[in-house]
Structures are given as structure tokens and as C-alpha cells.
Amino acid sequence: MIYDLIVIGAGPAGIMSAGKASESGLSVLLIEKNPKIGAKLLLTGKGRCNITHQEDDLKNFINQFGKNGKFLYKALNIFSIQDTLDFFHNLGIETKVERGNRVFPTTDSALSIVQALGKYLVKNKVKVLTNTKVTEIIREDNKIIKVKTRQGDYVAKKYILTTGGRSYPETGSTGEGFEFARQLGHNVINLKPALTPVLVKESWIKDLQGLNLENVNISIYQNNKKQDERFGEALFTHEGMSGPIILDMSKKIGELLKNGQVTLQIDFKPALDFLKLDLRIQRDFKEFSNKEFKNSLHKLLPQKLIPVIIKLSNINPDKKVNLITKEERKTLRNLLKEFKLEIQGLTGFKKAIVTSGGIDLKEIDPKTMRSKIIDNLYFAGEILDLDGPTGGYNLQACWSTGYLAGESVSDRNALNTI
Ligand SMILES: Cc1cc2nc3c(=O)[nH]c(=O)nc-3n(C[C@H](O)[C@H](O)[C@H](O)COP(=O)(O)OP(=O)(O)OC[C@H]3O[C@@H](n4cnc5c(N)ncnc54)[C@H](O)[C@@H]3O)c2cc1C
């Protein structure tokens, strides 16, 4: 059988483009090497899927992607943030806007998103082939003629490549798409892990694993000079730190590490200055004056952090609170305002949220997502040389470019010319 369209890779970009194309009556085959569609989507937003970013100003949105952002202009005009919300509402998914304009499904479940997308594919009669890895793409002149898999060859009039980036390879995004694109004559811009957790030298960090911090301020220092600073949410991992503000600073951290040591400094109580925090500690100490130090911090700190802070303060945990000296109290206060960790490095592709670099945008028509090199090839999603910060930007880029590619291939007149 000759399909109208073959889409390679069933992540958000592939699902959207396959569904959109089949809405126009095209016969569509979606090929995915994993046993199920949307493996990476299931992990997004810590399992809650931050589907998009609420932003009324298109320019602002685009600027978050740096100099390449303008490539997205047409795609976002054709399929906007509001269109994404409407799309999911029509699939029965209600949404809510959280802090930092992050949009989540009210189900708080990435699985509900994947299931809704699965139903969307069924409704539009997309043929989905899972457990099927594309191993080779065969071209003749400037056209793809078939794709090869271990199960056999598949033929279509047009092809969309949505194999994602190279980050978080355990989800299937291992970067084969870049190899295919190179073989087809495309240039691939320097691939680098982006939005990566950091590794720290302090081995006791593992005791804090899983502790999520909200409303903290984190600064990065090099040579005692503050290089960047963010307020928001962060997370301790077994070997370092992750979470939105760390991920968004990771690019800068990577650059600084090339020049030498980088220190991360957490202010656990940014709403209180040194003096106010001292007064707050004094209040707690008064309330718990007859208790041991180790039993006096639960109002001030999350439980998991208490043993670590006690150890670093060098104050005897069994010391009665009313015997704690002013100097010791000051040490405690400084620890809470200037909690230092030495950065050892970044985690690399293994745990990166996105891939920076990708198919050279100069070789793709931003109005259609069509390759300027291969007539019947289109691209969408993270395979493109585009990466945004955390907050729903990257998925929105997938929905919009996926939709645009799906719409462009649906142009019947264009189909007949291939
Ligand atoms: C832990 C984590 C959390 C994230 N959270 C968010 C978030 O909350 N919000 C947000 O906006 N972004 C988030 N992202 C980023 C977002 O998930 C990605 O940008 C997005 O999934 C990219 O979509 P894609 O369709 O381009 O590629 P992918 O989702 O990577 O899908 C590509 C698919 O292609 C398949 N494939 C690859 N090669 C082949 C082949 N040879 N044959 C067949 N199939 C193949 C893969 O198996 C994969 O299923 C997160 C990323 C990670 C890792």
C-alpha cells in the first residue's frame, strides 16, 4: 500500500502532525519504535505535563527561543497557544494555569494527555505501528521513496520526520533522526544537552533527594561574583539539583564551568532579610526553649532538610535551645540564607530536558515545515534547531510545528505534484 503520509516518531510533534493530516482525509501511517506512543510526554512536568505557556504576546513567546525563535512565527500564527488549549478542551481535557503561567491539565496527569492523543489518532483513523524502528530512509534524487524497518519497507507520497532530539534517550529520543537527515543532505547544527540538572561535589546531597523547594532564590557565583540569580522552584536529586530554576540556569552554568569553579547558593528564606530571619529564629527558639536543637526547626524548615542543616551548622543536635549562643544562631541564619553547593558539572544528554541544536532552520520553509532539500520531506518538533526554557514552551513548539507540517502535507494539490 502507498500511504499519503508516513510520520516517523510518535511524540507530541508526530502525533499532532499525523492527526492533523488525517483529519483532511489522508491515509497516514505513524511509525514508533517504542511499544507505546508518547513515552517522553509521560515524564513531562514531573508526570503532570506542562502542555503550554500562557502568553498573550506572541513576540514575548518567540523571544524565549533566542535568535532562532522567529522561525516559529508562522507555526504559532497557524496554531496558537489558544488553539492548543481549544484542541485539548475538545479532547475532553480541561486545563489550569499555575504559577509562572504554566498550563497543566486539571487531571494533573501526563497519562491523561497521552490517552487523549491516542483517542485523537483512533478517531482520525491514523494507522499506528509501534515496536517498529525506522532503520533507513531511501531517497531517489530529491525525493524519499521508502523507509526501511526490520518488519519491512513502507512507502508514502510524503514523510514527516518527528524523531525528537537526543536528550533523555531512555524515552526513545536517541537522535537517529539527525543521522537520517544528514544522509538526506541536511545540515545538523551542533547538538548539545540543554535544560540539564547539575551535579554537585557534596556527597551528602543524596540525603535530600526528592525534596522540592518552592519560593527559593538561587544564585550562581564564580570568583565570588554573582553571575545569575533566579527565584522559584528547585529540586534536590541524588547527585545534585534540578527543577525549573536550575534547568533554566544550566546553559549559563555550562559556560561558566569552562572557566573554572562555580558555586550555587540557595536562599531558603528570600522573603526575610538577615535581620528578619534572625528575629524569626529567635521567636522559634523562644517557643522551643526547653527542647533540643534538633526538635526546634520543624516550623522553619522541611523535615528532610533539618538533619543536613544541623550537621552543617556544627551545633550539637542535643543542645538545649536556650543554651544556643548568638554566634551559633548567626551560623544557622547564614546557612539558611547562603546555603552553598559546589557544582561539579552538568548531567549531559542522559537527563537533559531538551536538545539544543538540530536540523538547520535555513533548510526548512517556516511557512510549511517542508525541507528545501528533499521535496516530500517535512520536519516538526524537537528535531529542529530550536529550544526554549522550561514552562511549556517546548511542547507548544511541538504542537504548533506538528500542526503546521500536518496541515501543509494535507494540501491535496501539492500531493498530486509529488
Ligand atoms: C523529563 C522531561 C520533562 C519535560 N517536561 C516538559 C514540560 O513539562 N513541558 C514542555 O513544554 N516540555 C517538556 N519537556 C520537553 C518535551 O518533552 C520535548 O521537547 C518533546 O517531547 C519533544 O517532542 P517531539 O515529538 O519532537 O519528540 P519526542 O517526544 O522525543 O518523540 C520522538 C519519538 O520518536 C521516536 N523515534 C525516534 N527514532 C525513531 C526511529 N528510528 N523509528 C521510529 N521511532 C523513532 C521516539 O521513540 C520518540 O517516541 C520535558 C522533557 C523531559 C525529558
Per-position pLDDT tens, the chain of length 418: 999 999 999 999 999 999 999 999 999 999 999 999 999 999 999 999 999 999 999 999 999 999 999 999 999 999 999 999 999 999 999 999 999 999 999 999 999 999 999 999 999 999 999 999 999 999 999 999 999 999 999 999 999 999 999 999 999 999 999 999 999 999 999 999 999 999 999 999 999 999 999 999 999 999 999 999 999 999 999 999 999 999 999 989 999 999 999 999 999 999 999 999 999 999 999 999 999 999 999 999 999 999 999 999 999 999 999 999 999 999 999 999 999 999 999 999 999 999 999 999 999 999 999 999 999 999 999 999 999 999 999 999 999 999 999 999 987 555 544 4
Question: Measured from the CA of 171, which atom of ligand 1 is nearest?
Answer: 47
Q: Provide the pLDDT for residue 418.
A: 47
Q: How many residues does the chain have?
A: 418
Please, are residues 339 and 366 in contact by the beta-carbon 8 Å criterion?
Answer: no
Q: Domains of the chain, with CATH numbers?
A: 2-192+356-417 (3.50.50.60), 197-347 (1.10.8.100)
Q: Is 168 a pocket residue for ligand 1 (Cβ < 6 Å)?
A: yes
Question: Measured from the CA of 172, which atom of ligand 1 is nearest?
Answer: 47
With the most atoms of ligand 1 within 8 angstroms of its CB, the residue from 111, 237, 394 to mutate is: 394
393 CA distance to ligand 1 centroid (A)? 13
Q: What whole-number distance in Å separates Cα of residue 307 and Cα of residue 324?
A: 17
Give the SS3 label for residue 89.
helix
Q: Provide the pLDDT for residue 392.
A: 98
Q: Is 382 a pocket residue for ligand 1 (Cβ < 6 Å)?
A: yes
Q: What whole-number distance in Å separates Cα of residue 203 and Cα of residue 224?
A: 23
Q: Is 300 a pocket residue for ligand 1 (Cβ < 6 Å)?
A: no
Q: What whole-number distance in Å separates Cα of residue 45 and Cα of residue 49?
A: 4
Q: Is 37 a pocket residue for ligand 1 (Cβ < 6 Å)?
A: no
416 CA distance to ligand 1 centroid (A)? 32
- Nearest Cα to Cα of residue 51 among 127, 116, 7: 116
Residue carrying the nine cell digits 492533523 = 20
- The C-alpha cell of 65 is what? 527561543
227 CA distance to ligand 1 centroid (A)? 31
Please, are residues 266 and 312 in contact by the beta-carbon 8 Å criterion?
Answer: no
E strands in 87-166: 95-98, 102-105, 127-129, 134-140, 143-149, 152-161
Question: Measured from the CA of 14, which atom of ligand 1 is nearest?
Answer: 25
Please, are residues 383 and 165 in contact by the beta-carbon 8 Å criterion?
Answer: yes
Which residue minimizes the CA distance to atom 41 of ligand 1? Answer: 134
What are the DSSP calls for 213-275, one per residue? EEEEEEEEEETTEEEEEEEEEEEE-SSEEESHHHHHHHHHHHHHHTTS-EEEEEES-TTS-HH
- Count other Cβ atoms within 10 Å, centred on residue 245: 23
Give the SS3 label for residue 210.
coil
- Nearest Cα to Cα of residue 143 among 369, 409, 375, 407: 375
With the most atoms of ligand 1 within 8 angstroms of its CB, the residue from 40, 102, 138, 400 to mutate is: 40
Which residue minimizes the CA distance to atom 30 of ligand 1? Answer: 164
- Nearest Cα to Cα of residue 386 among 340, 347, 355: 355
Q: Is 353 a pocket residue for ligand 1 (Cβ < 6 Å)?
A: yes
Q: Is 199 exposed, middle or buried (0-12, 13-18, 19+ CB in 10 A)?
A: middle
Q: Is 12 a pocket residue for ligand 1 (Cβ < 6 Å)?
A: yes
